[in-house]
């Protein structure tokens, strides 16, 4: 039976790399369901993610595609792995503080404690190193999220330092590892 991954995409310049993640996972015969924050759709379109994942993309928590089930609960409870890549400081703060005001943060709140969870931060170095951000990241780690550590590089803003999204192959490897799979 195919493994199911729910992939959250947030509003980072690195959002386009989520398409590469989806494509790589589909090649591993993984069923990928994408949740995008509204602002992430300004960086990459839901249509792109839908075509690559071969599944509907979820953006609005108030949109219920099926009357038989509550969408955010169904997505949360029917996944083998919950991943957010890229993850902004905003979504990390929302999760750490129990906020559920969009589709991604709402699904995050509904994911069962025993479901593995990965988070791949992507942001400016000063944001990543900010004490509040680090506190929030530590909080969600205590609740079961595993961090895919960002890389140090020249960032979109021109700064040099930690905060770049980990390489796609590292993210895919971490996902496969959590699923107990190896590359085909």
> At the top level of CATH, which class does the domain 4-179 belong to?
alpha beta
pLDDT digits (tens, 9 = 90+) for 56-71: 999 998 887 777 788 8
34 - beta bridge partners? Answer: 7
Q: What is the pTM of this model?
A: 0.95
| Mean pLDDT calculated for residue range 18-34 | 98
Is residue 42 over pLDDT 70?
yes
Residue 184 CA neighbour count, 13 Å, CB half: 7
157 is known as an active-site residue: yes
Catalytic residue among 60, 157, 159, 160: 157
| Confidence (pLDDT) at 66 | 75
* Count of CB atoms situated within 10 Å of the CB of 43: 18
Choose among 111, 12, 4, 109: nearest CA to 54: 4
Alpha-carbon span 161 to 17, nearest angstrom: 19
Write phi, then psi, for 134 (nearest 5 degrees). -65, -35
Q: Which of the four pLDDT bands, split at 50, 70 and 90, describes residue 184?
A: low
Is residue 142 over pLDDT 90?
yes
Residue 139 CA neighbour count, 13 Å, CB half: 15
| Mean pLDDT calculated for residue range 120-131 | 96
Find the Cα–Cα–Cα–Cα dihedral 59, 127, 92, 60, rounded to 10°: -10
**CA angle, corner 171, sides to 15 and 57, nearest 5?**
45
Q: Where are the chain's structural domains?
A: 4-179
């Amino acid at each position: 039976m195919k493994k199911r991954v729910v992939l959250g995409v947030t509003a980072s310049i690195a959002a386009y790399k989520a398409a590469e993640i989806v494509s790589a996972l589909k090649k591993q015969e993984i069923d990928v369901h994408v949740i995008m924050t509204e602002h992430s759709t300004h960086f990459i379109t839901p249509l792109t993610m839908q075509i690559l994942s071969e599944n509907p993309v979820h953006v609005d928590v108030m949109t219920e595609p099926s009357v038989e089930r509550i969408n955010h609960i169904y997505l949360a409870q029917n996944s083998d792995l919950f991943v957010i890549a890229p993850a902004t400081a905003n979504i990390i703060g929302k999760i750490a503080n129990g906020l559920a005001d969009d589709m991604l943060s709402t699904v995050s709140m509904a994911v069962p404690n025993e479901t593995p969870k990965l988070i791949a931060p992507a942001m400016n170095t000063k944001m990543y190193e900010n004490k509040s951000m680090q506190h929030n990241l530590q909080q969600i780690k205590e609740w079961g999220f595993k961090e895919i550590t960002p890389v140090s590089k020249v960032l979109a803003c021109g700064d040099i330092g930690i905060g770049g999204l980990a390489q796609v192959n590292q993210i895919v490897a971490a996902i496969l590892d959590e699923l107990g799979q190896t590359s085909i």
